[in-house]
Amino acid sequence: MTKHPDEVTTEEGPTRVPTLPTRADAHFLFEVGGVRYEVVRELEVRPNRERLLRAQRRAADGTLSGPCLVRQLASPASYMARKRLAEEVELAFCLDHPNIAQVFHVEVDEVEDVPYVIMQYVDGPSLETLVCAAVVRGQPLSEGFGLYVGTEVADALHYAHTLTSGKGVPLGIVHRDVSPRHIALGRHGEVKVLDFGSAYSLLVGREESPESLLRGDVAYASPEYLRKAGLTPRSDVFSLGVLLVEVMTGNHLFEVHDVPPVPAKESRQRAETPPTLPLQQMQALMETFSPEVVEKAVATLSDDVKAVLHKALRLDPEERFATAGDMRDALRGVALSRPTGPYGRAEAAREAALVVSAGGQMRDKVEFGEGGLYPEGLDAHELVALKKE
């Protein structure tokens, strides 16, 4: 791999796919198979020192071939960490589904020993952004939107859960970080599940995360995962249920103020990244979790939607939907029976545009908290474009 730290002054050339504009401040990152990758903007720096970079691909003749996402990973500090990283990438390569953001390539900078993952760029907001914007405007996203997104995500999860190796051996993949931050809505309303980097798998010989390490945002974790009692596809079903409550009500299922501060105590468990809600308080909330907690959270929703969420959010995994496919079918059945008519990509894109536009009118008056309402990468001109769709 060739690495050049110098800044590249780009020139306008014939653009076959008009996506990202040529920018004078784009930096040449590396070259793969004759295609140059130029960083346009840094989107996020994560607590574990990973960086998410928006990049553009430029062919040898100077034409742009569309945007992509480059995930610059923290260089693994140990052999086991390197092995686990390689296995995570191997799993990501296995996933080929229209509702899962694709991983295209992995490169390692031979000079700095830094791995880069080249991924599909989803040109639209995350559910985290949309939920924040909806809260700001004082009206949650619609049930139709939630049913549509839930159906698409459940289909992607079922695909991952049932994926087998080339020899027909089940890979046993569980996402274990199904949260609004990792679901994105494309410009045309397509739903994409992001970041299977925290995925669990039964892949034979795979180096698993340390027993004491809880990966993903524990605010969306299943009760069994918080207890380190094992993971199954039903764990992702629970997480999707938590996510859908937040999407359709504007409130998280678990409110940290509902439980008094938990005294610090010795615990081997730790979260890999700073959670939305404190780990020990989440564990305390799970001790009193019941159908009554769910009913209080979903009180404003229609009865058929409530029924699906109640089944997804059972404390006992055996009482939930057996598969994400079963949850998908239940959500789709509710959506088809609604008198408001079909709800799909076009309707989702229009609703998202309205929500983002309404939130934009408040961005100078409201403190949106961690991540902000508009992550870097959704600039004013992109907001206008989204609104026009």
Q: What is the mean pLDDT of residues 325-331?
A: 98
More confident residue, 323 or 254: 323
pLDDT, tens digit (0-9, with 9 covering 90-100), for 208-250:
443 334 455 678 989 998 887 778 999 999 999 999 999 999 9
Give residues with Cβ within 8 angstroms of 182, minimum separation 6.
126, 175, 193, 194, 195
* Residue found by looking up tokens 């938590």 in the block: 242
With 0-12 / 13-18 / 19 or more C-beta atoms within 10 angstroms meaning exposed / middle / buried, residue 325 is middle
pLDDT, tens digit (0-9, with 9 covering 90-100), for 17-27:
333 334 445 68
Per-residue pLDDT for 7 more than 50? Answer: no
Average predicted confidence (pLDDT) for the chain: 77
pLDDT, tens digit (0-9, with 9 covering 90-100), for 312-322:
999 999 999 99
pLDDT, tens digit (0-9, with 9 covering 90-100), for 339-354:
888 999 999 999 999 9
270-271 and 213-214 as β-strands: parallel, antiparallel, unpaired? Answer: parallel
Identify the structural domains of the chain with CATH numbers, from first to last.
Answer: 27-120 (3.30.200.20), 127-336 (1.10.510.10)
SS3 216: coil
Q: Which residues of 184-202 are buried (b: 16+ CB within 10 A; e: fewer)?
A: bbbbebbbbbbbbbbbbbe
Structural element, H or E, at residue 148: helix 143-161
Is residue 383 within 8 A of residue 357, CB to CB? The reply is yes
Distance (Å, rounded) from C-alpha 267 to C-alpha 283? 12
- Among 58-62, 113-117, 216-220, 266-270, top mean pLDDT goes to 58-62
SS3 189: coil
**Angle formed at CA 77 by CA 72 and CA 81, multiple of 5 degrees:** 80
pLDDT, tens digit (0-9, with 9 covering 90-100), for 139-190:
999 999 999 999 999 999 999 999 988 888 888 888 888 999 889 999 999 9
Distance (Å, rounded) from C-alpha 132 to C-alpha 122? 19
